[in-house]
Structure 1
Amino acid sequence: MSRAMSWPLLRLYLLVLLYFSANSILNVIIPLQGEAFGAANTTVGLIMGAYLFTTMFFRPWAGHMIQKHGPLKVLRTILIVNGVALILYTFTGLWGYFIARMLQGVSTAFFSMALQIGIIDSLPEEDRSQGISLYSLFSYIPGIIGPILALGIWHGGKDSFTAVMIGIAVFTGVAGYSAKIEKGKEQPAETNANQGANMFKFFGELVKNPFLFKCSVFMLVASIVFGAVTTFIPLYAKELQGGNAGVFLMLQAATVVFARFTLRKKIPSDGKWHPIFIMGTMLILAIAAQSVSFSITGGAIFFYSGAVLMGIAQAILYPTLTTYLSFVLPKVNRNILLGLFIAMADLGVSLGGVIMGPVADFSSYSFMYMICALLGVTMIIFAYDRRNIFVR
């Protein structure tokens, strides 16, 4: 059996499932609650985007703190912040949600970095891509039933929502405090004592390091599309005959889970850049966004086809780029630079709500998703590398 499927790591994957179950519910509840309060798409986008926008800023610092104190100590501390955020949702209004989203953003920055760094450091090179794929897989499993559950909670009223949020906070905390992270054989080189004080200097590596730059561009643009889907599908579905946001998000998440499990051994884990593989992934993303856009005319078949294709693109892109960077980034700063890369994914999802909200306000959801499809097309061109200079 692969070490990526060992019992200690399976416990970590189950913790990931518990942690992200709250978000699969909130991604549906918050837009619906915003609409009930009369908020515009721009406001809803800002509140939804506050989560990963905050996460983006804390990712590099999270990488440094984990490198300094270890992933387990950081994990147990940050779960307290997550519990406070989830309980805050139960008694505040729309702008209280904004504060809770920011607290969740801080928590997620440290939580996901601790888990991913722990997984990378505890696995041999040939199993890294499987470990990252399984982490991502378990983070999406809640999305299979979460959206449908969220609609039931929405109709059940405030008491149901309160009970679910408190329950998730308690169970996640218990699971986190009982988890163990194996100490990896391959540890990063000794850290510079002044690294934390000079954290902002690492942002320059987004441009200076060609591997980090290229992967970050792909992740940023693709995540804008993913963010626009997460934020506005609950509202867009109401305009479609036969459209159901819960079914869409369930199909998307189920596809991510199925594809990540079945394709986990197909994700490149050789430290080389594979342009054709990436171009194909971005083509799938572009077709997915255009299918969602066309569904206002073509009907629900295009709507749900877009969900499946979007799930395939999500399943492939993130573990591919993360695994590649785990090989080519310098070990002495790898955790921090990986944090910067994941921060670009956070920024993209946040911008998907913040930027695309005004686009939807001034045009339509259909036009906004067509813009997302065009972004995917530009990344197909960007992925082409005739000289193959990014192969190690």
Structure 2
Amino acid sequence: MNQAMSAPFLRLYALALLFFSANSILNVIVPLRIEAWGASNSDIGFIMGAYMFTCMFFRPWAGHLVHKHGPVIVLRILLAVNGLALILYTFTGMEGYLAARVMQGICTAFFSMSLQMGIIDALPEEQRSQGLSLYSLFTYMPTIIGPLLAVGIWELGGVNGFTAAMILIALATGLFGYSVPMQFAQKGQGNAAQERLGLRGALGRIAGNRPLLICSLLMLLASIVFGAVTAFIPLYARQISYGHAGVYLMIQAGIIVVARFALSKRIPSDGKWHAWFVGAICLLGSVGALLLSLSQAMGPVVFYAAAVSIGIAQAMLYPTLTTYLTFVLPGTSRNVYIGLFIATADLGISMGGMAMGPIADRFSFSAMYAVSAAVGVIAACMAVLNRSMGERRMQQAAVPE
């Protein structure tokens, strides 16, 4: 029986779809509204990046608390806080947007860890990659139509339309979340002393765990590329002839959804390190960033081709690395270490806005995406140069806590 496609898991995936539906609208409207208030690209990047930076900060703590108390009680609390954050967008200015982004970051850290740890703990090993891929698939499904809805709200509905959308999403997510049964999600049963040691000492010991270190660095570098797209495409698209942010983000999201649905069973789930496979994924992201850099000179075909390339890379990299780590990390501290790994993705997304914004201010969006392409090449080289990591998999997994 394929448990990853059973009714309880499908309800969890549907909850993820509702939870992340607000982001597909906010990722377009927030930069446009902040720019309309006179903010620079650096300011926009800072506020957009604050969401994932906060998420990164709380990931390890979230992994520890989810493992200790179980996903259910954590999920109930964060759904209420997330609703408050969405409503905050409807009546505040730039400072309120920053506060809402921080609140959303905290909620996302706990929500993501609650669902992903529940999926990992409940599924058999051979179905982990499919479960994680389907979870990620449903988190991206709102971004297929969300950007176009956001542009419509911005151009036609104004503040009233935006307010109604945020309140509706907050209510729907909260009500559905409280009704979803999760009897299979139990508290972690690991050794409590080892959990505390893993939480306190993880940052100091991460360099000694080679698979975790390499996967985290790869996710960090690739996420810088993805974050630069999220933060600045709504602004950059207006500089491209026939460029449209909603269409670009819809294409990219559609590619992510199709790739994760069609290729979920092809993601390695054998616990081995596939260096060339991971390197090719990183290189696809780099090619996409390079195409974005050339789009202002070469036109909309290149612009939208970048969405395809980056979409495939984003669809494949995260579930591939996460699945590999679930096999090689020590079981008693796995949740904490997975939280640290996911935190590097959050840090990369935030750096895509915070670090790349000043480059766009100083030079141009084209130069910024050229720098992003170079970052993707570094990630691809790192993946390929660490081919021997697969040979040490069993040794690493055997390291005592």
Q: Which residue number corresponds to residue 216 of structure 2?
A: 216
Question: Any conservation in 1 of the 2:66–2:187 contact (CA below 8 Å)?
Answer: no
Specify whether residues 109 and 383 from structure 1 end up closer, same or farther in structure 2 by C-alpha distance, changes over 3 A only: same
Q: Which residue number corresponds to residue 345 of structure 1?
A: 345
Letter of the 2:49 counterpart: G
Give the Cα separation in 2 of the matches to 1:182 and 1:129: 22
Q: TM-score, normalised by structure 1?
A: 0.97
Deviation at 1:184, TM superposition (A): 6.3
Q: Which residue number corresponds to residue 372 of structure 1?
A: 372
Deviation at 1:205, TM superposition (A): 3.0
Question: Any conservation in 2 of the 1:119–1:132 contact (CA below 8 Å)?
Answer: yes
List per-residue Cα deviations over 1:296-336 (Å, max 9, x = no partner). 11100010000011100001000000000011000111101
List per-residue Cα deviations over 1:186-207 (Å, max 9, x = no partner). 96532228718x7342112331
Q: Which residue number corresponds to residue 398 of structure 2?
A: none
Structure 2: tracts of 5 or more residues without a match = 394-401
Specify whether residues 239 and 69 from structure 1 end up closer, same or farther in structure 2 by C-alpha distance, changes over 3 A only: same
Does residue 357 (structure 1) correspond to residue 357 (structure 2)? The answer is yes
Specify whether residues 27 and 387 from structure 1 end up closer, same or farther in structure 2 by C-alpha distance, changes over 3 A only: closer
Q: Write the mapping of 1:58-69 to structure 2, written as runs, cut at 5 A.
A: 58-69=58-69
Give the Cα separation in 1 of the matches to 2:153 and 2:200: 42
Deviation at 1:367, TM superposition (A): 0.6
SS at match of 1:143: helix
Q: Which residue number corresponds to residue 72 of structure 2?
A: 72
List per-residue Cα deviations over 1:100-129 (Å, max 9, x = no partner). 000000000000000000011110000000
Q: Write the mapping of 1:49-60 to structure 2, written as runs, cut at 5 A.
A: 49-60=49-60
Letter of the 1:47 counterpart: I
Q: Which residue number corresponds to residue 159 of structure 1?
A: 160
Q: Which residue number corresponds to residue 225 of structure 1?
A: 225
Question: Any conservation in 1 of the 2:210–2:389 contact (CA below 8 Å)?
Answer: no
Q: Which residue number corresponds to residue 270 of structure 1?
A: 270
Specify whether residues 202 and 299 from structure 1 end up closer, same or farther in structure 2 by C-alpha distance, changes over 3 A only: same
Q: Write the mapping of 1:324-343 to structure 2, written as runs, cut at 5 A.
A: 324-343=324-343
List per-residue Cα deviations over 1:7-40 (Å, max 9, x = no partner). 0000000000000000010000010001100100
Question: Any conservation in 2 of the 1:205–1:212 contact (CA below 8 Å)?
Answer: no
Give the Cα separation in 2 of the matches to 1:263 and 1:134: 10
Q: Which residue number corresponds to residue 14 of structure 2?
A: 14
Give the Cα separation in 2 of the matches to 1:22 and 1:102: 15
Give the Cα separation in 1 of the matches to 2:187 and 2:326: 12
Q: Write the mapping of 1:70-149 to structure 2, written as runs, cut at 5 A.
A: 70-149=70-149
Question: Any conservation in 1 of the 2:55–2:106 contact (CA below 8 Å)?
Answer: yes
Root-mean-square deviation over aligned CA pairs:
1.5
Does residue 298 (structure 1) correspond to residue 298 (structure 2)? The answer is yes
SS at match of 1:39: coil
List per-residue Cα deviations over 1:143-169 (Å, max 9, x = no partner). 000000001111211111111101101
Q: Which residue number corresponds to residue 184 of structure 2?
A: 183
SS at match of 1:389: helix
Does residue 314 (structure 1) correspond to residue 314 (structure 2)? The answer is yes
Q: TM-score, normalised by structure 2?
A: 0.95
Give the Cα separation in 2 of the matches to 1:98 and 1:186: 33
Letter of the 1:207 counterpart: A
Structure with greater helix percent: 2
Does residue 235 (structure 1) correspond to residue 226 (structure 2)? The answer is no
Does residue 384 (structure 1) correspond to residue 384 (structure 2)? The answer is yes
Q: Which residue number corresponds to residue 168 of structure 1?
A: 169
Give the Cα separation in 1 of the matches to 2:69 and 2:37: 43
Letter of the 2:162 counterpart: F
Give the Cα separation in 2 of the matches to 1:201 and 1:127: 31
Between Structure 1 and Structure 2, how many residues are aligned? 391
Give the Cα separation in 1 of the matches to 2:199 and 2:57: 11
Question: Any conservation in 2 of the 1:206–1:216 contact (CA below 8 Å)?
Answer: no
SS at match of 1:268: coil
